[in-house]
Structure 1
């Protein structure tokens, strides 16, 4: 299994465990409430969305990464296309970050 697939598989496991939040407003609420451990933004998200969440995560001290595309993320979690995901469990967040750090095409947004 490639590193890319392992990262997507970890997203699927987090979803089944109930540790993911999707959707712009709910992700934003999780970041503000301190519940988000990692925010994942699809690479094909709009520049406005990327900037909004980059700024918001920076001000609340939440890790953020840009990876995959909306179709891959949606398929990994068994939903329609998804642009934003918040991981609410530190263990899953660390696992996903480790998988993403092994990928060359992932851009961490700091």
Structure 2
């Protein structure tokens, strides 16, 4: 059941309801567009601190998910360590599947 969230992440990506890339994610957090941030469990310490600090400041929930390979495969890109979900419905479903 745990890997079903990857299907939802893939759907959100195809629906253009996610953001990839550290700078774009931080921008979406600051503009309050991000509803949920997924972080890989093997993310670098500086990137982790930068994104989680922004999430705490702007009260955006974040979850630690699988490794970067699994997250990257879900969106069809390579070496993605963070994904911001921009749709509340997708964010709620992913939260229930990971929670």
Give the structure-2-normalised TM-score. Answer: 0.95
Aligned to 2:64: 66
Unaligned runs of 5+ in 2: none
Within 1, Cα distance between the matches of 2:4 and 2:55? Answer: 25
Aligned to 1:81: 79
Unaligned runs of 5+ in 1: 102-110
* Residue number among 2, 5, 21 corresponding to 1:4 in the alignment: 2
Aligned to 1:48: 46
Within 1, Cα distance between the matches of 2:81 and 2:43? Answer: 6
Within 2, Cα distance between the matches of 1:4 and 1:75? Answer: 15
Aligned CA RMSD, in angstroms, stands at 0.8
Q: SS at the partner of 1:4?
A: coil
Within 2, Cα distance between the matches of 1:88 and 1:17? Answer: 10
Aligned to 2:14: 16
Aligned to 1:34: 32
Within 2, Cα distance between the matches of 1:19 and 1:90? Answer: 10
Give the structure-1-normalised TM-score. Answer: 0.86
Which of structure 1's runs of 4+ aligned residues deviate more than 3 A? Answer: none
Aligned to 1:105: none
Cα deviation 1:40-93 (Å, max 9, x = unaligned) = 110000122112211110110101111111110110111112101100000000
Within 2, Cα distance between the matches of 1:57 and 1:49? Answer: 12
